[in-house]
């Protein structure tokens, strides 16, 4: 169940109401933490949908490495 409804404005400046949820987030090699997340539908292309975007509030606890040559990434959290 959503905690509340929040107003979201996208890059395209389209504004709409979206649900906010309180969840427990656990990633490998990283402690589990309770965070608020907002449901925002997002399409990169007609055949690709983003299921999860990780923001700086989470990334500040780890190291994100992107390899452009093979289009891969790693996300490492120190124990």
Domain spans in the chain, listed from the N-terminal domain onward: 4-77
CA–CA separation, 34 and 16 (whole Å): 25
pLDDT value, residue 68: 94
Token pair belonging to 18: 């979206």
pLDDT (tens digit per residue) in 5-63: 888 877 766 788 888 999 888 777 666 778 888 877 666 567 766 667 777 877 887 88
66 pLDDT band, cuts 50/70/90, is: very high
Parallel, antiparallel, or unpaired: how do β-strands 4-9 and 43-45 relate?
Answer: unpaired
Query: Do 53 and 39 contact (CB within 8 A), yes or no?
Result: no
């Amino acid at each position: 169940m959503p905690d509340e409804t929040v107003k979201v404005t996208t890059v395209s400046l389209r504004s709409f109401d979206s649900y906010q949820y309180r969840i427990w987030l656990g990633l490998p090699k990283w402690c589990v933490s309770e965070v608020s997340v907002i449901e925002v539908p997002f399409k990169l292309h007609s055949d690709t949908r983003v299921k999860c975007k990780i923001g700086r509030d989470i990334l500040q606890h780890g190291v994100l490495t992107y390899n452009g040559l093979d289009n891969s990434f790693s996300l490492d959290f120190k124990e």
